[in-house]
Chains A and B, each alone.
Chain A
Amino acid sequence: TQLLEQSPQFLSIQEGENLTVYCNSSSVFSSLQWYRQEPGEGPVLLVTVVTGGEVKKLKRLTFQFGDARKDSSLHITAAQPGDTGLYLCAGRYNFNKFYFGSGTKLNVKP
Chain B
Amino acid sequence: GAGVSQTPSNKVTEKGKYVELRCDPISGHTALYWYRQSLGQGPEFLIYFQGTGAADDSGLPNDRFFAVRPEGSVSTLKIQRTERGDSAVYLCASSLSSGGSDTQYFGPGTRLTVL
Interface set of A (CB-CB < 8 Å, partner B): 2, 4, 6, 30-31, 40-45, 48, 50, 88, 90, 92, 94-103
Contact = CB atoms under 8 A, between A and B. Distances in A.
Nearest to B43: A100
A102 B91 CA distance: 15
Interface stretch (B12-20, B70-78, B80-88, B97-105): B97-105
A97 B41 contact: no
A98 B108 CA distance: 18
A98 B45 contact: yes
A94 B98 CA distance: 12
A94 B56 contact: yes
B42 A96 contact: no
B27 interface: no
Closest 3 CB pairs of A and B: A42-B106, A100-B42, A100-B43
A97 B42 CA distance: 14
B98 A96 contact: yes
Given A42-B4, A44-B106, A96 B56 contact: yes
A79 to B, nearest CB: 21
B100 A96 contact: yes
A41 B56 contact: no
A97 B35 CA distance: 11
B4 A88 contact: no
B41 A2 contact: yes
12 contacts: A2-B41, A30-B100, A31-B100, A42-B107, A45-B103, A88-B42, A88-B43, A96-B33, A96-B50, A96-B98, A97-B45, A102-B42
